[in-house]
Amino acid sequence: MVAAEEWAKRPKPVVDQKPPKDIEDRADFTGRMELLFDLMALAIQTDSTRLITLKGAGGAEVVNLKGVDDGWHNLSHHGRDPGKIEQLGIIEREEFRLFGEFLKKLDAIKDGDVTLLDQTAILLGSNLGNASSHNNSNLPIVVAGGRFQHGQHLAFDEAKAPPLANVLVSFLQHLNLEVDQFSTGTGTLTGLS
C-alpha cells in the first residue's frame, strides 16, 4: 500500500499515444495482437504495472491471414496433415513477427541509460509441446529481454529435463525476490543467466 501510494504521487511519464480503439473482429488476429502489444508497451513505459499476463489468440475462429481457411485450434490438432501444418505455420510466423515488433518497440524506448527491453523479462510460450497429441512435455518457450543470457537455444534431454518452473524461479530472481524454488522448480534454469 505504501509503494502504491508513493507511485500515485510520482509524476507520470508523458507519452505521445492516441487512446486505444478496440478491435472487435476476433478474426483480425494481426490487428488485435498489435493492439495488445501496444498496450503492454505503454503500460510498461508508464510504469502502470510490473507484471503482465497475456493469453493470446488460439480459438476456433478462422484468422484473416492469406492462406488460412481453418480455425487455429483445429489446425493445431493437425494429425500431421501437411496442409494443416502449412496453415498453422502461416499463423505462427505472423505471431512471431508481431512478437518481434513488440520487442523492437521496447528496445526503442529509452529509460535512462537502458531500454525498456533491457529491464523487462519476457516469457512467450505454449502449454503444449505437440498440440496435435496434447503432449505437454518439451514445451516451446522463448525468454527475451531482462538480464538473461540471450542468443542461444537451450535443449534438454527429455528424460533429464529440468522442470519448466525453473524458468519461473529465474524470473522471480530477476525481480530481486529471494526465491530458490517455485512449484516443481528446484532452482534457476541452467544456462539462462
Q: What is the DSSP track for 25-68?
A: -TT-HHHHHHHHHHHHHHHHHTTS-S--------SSSPPS-TT-
pLDDT at 48: 86
Backbone Cα Rg of the chain: 19
Place of cell 505455420: 89
pLDDT digits (tens, 9 = 90+) for 77-97: 898 999 999 999 999 999 999
- Read off the C-alpha cell for 30: 494481426
* pLDDT score recorded for residue 7: 74
Q: What is the dihedral of CA 163, 144, 140, 185, to 10 degrees?
A: 10
> pLDDT tens, 115-141?
999 999 999 998 877 787 888 777 889
| Residue 58 in this model has a pLDDT that exceeds 80 | no
Per residue in 53-82, is it b (16+ CB within 10 Å) or e — as a string? eeeebbeeebbebeebebbbeebbebeeee
What mean pLDDT do residues 166-187 have?
94
Q: Could you tell me the residue ranges of all domains in the chain? A: 2-111
Residue 115 near residue 109 (C-beta atoms within 8 A)? yes
Q: Which cell goes with 69?
A: 481457411
Instruction: Tally DSSP H helices, then E strands, for the chain.
Output: 6, 4
